[in-house]
Amino acid sequence: MSLYNEDITFGQLWLRNPSGFVESANKTLSSIYLKYSELPNLYKELINNEIVRFYVFYDCIFIETQNGCFFEKISVSENNSFESFTRNYFFNEKKTTQIDYWFSEKEQKVFFTDIEFLNISNNSLKFILHLKEFDCVTGITEQRLKEQVELFFINPDSWFNFVPIIETPKICYNPNTSNYNISFIFRSKLKQFALISIMVSKKRNYEITKIDGIVPFLTLDLENSRHYSLL
């Protein structure tokens, strides 16, 4: 099976609590989940233990449900149970795609990105690129980049009034150039393959410095394509 055809299914998460007993996550992490009770759709998934993805970074956890995801730094309370390190919370609501993340062990930070589709016109594809940062030391998530991108195409045939298939982006980092690369695949009505590559400079305060792409079924007009910050 192709990696691009993987299905997302719910699963139940079980964890070992500070006392060493294995319990369902909705019990072990109940005090952390309570912070999200103001978000009824998410909270319902959490208390029903409907988890899509889970990961651990040192004393921090990443949890994703169908509605979105969040990162939390955890600690152990005086009554020997897990609790949140901070009262603040940041929920990343799912937009068009799931997130992809890059963990910097040196900085002890997780950088994560997703794509928010806006629309397709007769000759352009418009979307928002999000890049956020979770600090494993402070437990705080901050938005680093929110950029609206409009890619123009030359002579697009039958290219409007539909939502393209946009797959989860991939993020990687080059420490020698201090550049992030965020790439994603999108597909036409006929499910034809296209690849967009975006370079983000960390040196220049998380600024898009280059956009490139391979779109075999269209001619990408990079000269007229544009982007601007929404922050």
Q: How far apart are CA 196 and CA 211, in angstroms?
A: 7
Q: What is the pLDDT of residue 122?
A: 78
- If residue 170 lies in a helix (H) or strand (E), which one and from where to where? strand 170-174
CA atoms within 13 A on the CB side of 201: 9
Q: Which of 191, 171, 129 is nearest to 4 (CA)?
A: 191
Quick count: other Cβ atoms within 10 Å of Cβ 12?
11
Q: What is the pLDDT of residue 79?
A: 85
Low-confidence ranges of the chain (pLDDT < 50): 1-5
Q: What is the pLDDT of residue 184?
A: 97
Q: What is the pLDDT of residue 1?
A: 37
Instruction: Give me the DSSP letters along 192-212.
Output: -EEEEEEEEETTTTSEEEEEE
Give per-residue pLDDT as tens, 12-50.
888 888 888 898 999 999 999 999 999 999 999 999 999
Q: What is the pLDDT of residue 133?
A: 97
pTM (two decimals): 0.90
